[in-house]
Amino acid sequence: MYIKTLLTDRPEEAAKLLRAGQTVIFPTETVYGLGGDATNPDAVAAIYAAKQRPADNPLIVHIWHPAQVDELAHDIPGYARQLIAEFFPGPFSLLLPKRPLIPDITTAGSSKVCLRMPSLELSREFLRLADRPVAAPSANLSGRPSPTRWQDCLEDMDGRVGAILKGPEAVFGLESTIVDASGPVPVLLRPGAVTLEMLRRVVPGIATDPNLVAETTPGMKYRHYAPKAKVSLVEPGEVLPWVPAQAGYIGLTAPAFAVEYQLRMENLEEYGQKLFSFFRECDRRGLSAIFAERVEPTGLGRAIMNRLRKAAGETS
């Protein structure tokens, strides 16, 4: 069903539409989110429909103030409160036991809810004016690269959502770190800009377990982040026996082979910020292959490699 999509730079206008039950795309410091009232099953169903997202893939719930954590979750461990104090607001999400205010459709039937408080001032003003928790996955069609600019959202979502709140390009460019805080030991489920090393400085005992991510973690159950072009990962300086004529490359060092379009990154922060917009530009250029340079999977490199492996269809 076609919906006339409003473009606005006024958070109060976007928040009014969300309060009326419509879907609204809004900026954050990580990627743009496709928002709806997290307490309204019809609004949440509209998110899934607009994104063409499987209904068994839970959503992150966005808040503007730390006090909302206790309104939406219960049995919050002491270590979770330490993490909240350190990383809220920011590119960080916590999985906690949910209260009944959050309907099952928002969490895909899970008894846990994933909460995040963005740091972008425009995001928090929009969420404050919305005056309710806002469920929001990334604002792209399911499986496509996450949008880091409002123009990217318009490509995928024009005619599918009520409004797009225009804001700046995302600072981090990768979705938030997710930690499961529903048990006695915290578990890193999705790496992001808040790195494992940063987490362990606050809670030294945090664990990692890739076997836990599929069923409970928003955005981790299916192949994700993928452009139309085939993505292959290469080592720095790797020489390939054959490269398609219409190929792109992204990495920290120059490729050892010729490509039509390349993006050289100065550091890991830039790599993370530009990765998804690079994927989208390759699609606009009609490229058939993308080569992405592997990085060390430590610090921010862990998050970059997580996204690259998923885009390439790798399982480990």
Give yes or no for a contact between 246 and 261, defined as CB atoms under 8 angstroms apart: no
> In the β-sheet with 247-251, what is the strand arrangement from edge to edge?
230-234, 289-293, 247-251, 261-264
Tell me the mean pLDDT in the region 48-77. Answer: 96
Q: pLDDT at residue 216 above 90?
A: no
pLDDT digits (tens, 9 = 90+) for 231-244: 999 999 999 999 99
Q: 3-state DSSP call for residue 293? A: strand
Q: pLDDT at residue 46 above 90?
A: yes
Q: How far apart are CA 182 and CA 180, in angstroms?
A: 6
pTM: 0.94
Give yes or no for a contact between 303 and 177, defined as CB atoms under 8 angstroms apart: yes
Scored b (16 or more CB within 10 A) or e, 264-300 reads ebeebeebbbbbbbbbbbbbeeebebbbbbbbebebb
Mean pLDDT (the chain, rounded): 94
Tell me the mean pLDDT in the region 21-39. Answer: 98
Q: How far apart are CA 36 and CA 84, in angstroms?
A: 23
Strands 134-135 and 177-180: unpaired
Q: How confident is the model at residue 211 (pLDDT cuts 50, 70, 90)?
A: low
Of 190, 170, 202, 192, whose CA–CA distance to 91 is shortest?
A: 192
Tell me the mean pLDDT in the region 287-304. Answer: 98
Domains plus CATH for the chain? 6-216 (3.90.870.10), 230-311 (3.40.50.11030)
Q: How far apart are CA 120 and CA 304, in angstroms?
A: 21
Query: What percentage of the chain has pLDDT greater than the value 70?
Result: 94
Q: How confident is the model at residue 2 (pLDDT cuts 50, 70, 90)?
A: confident
**For residue 314, what pLDDT is reported?**
83
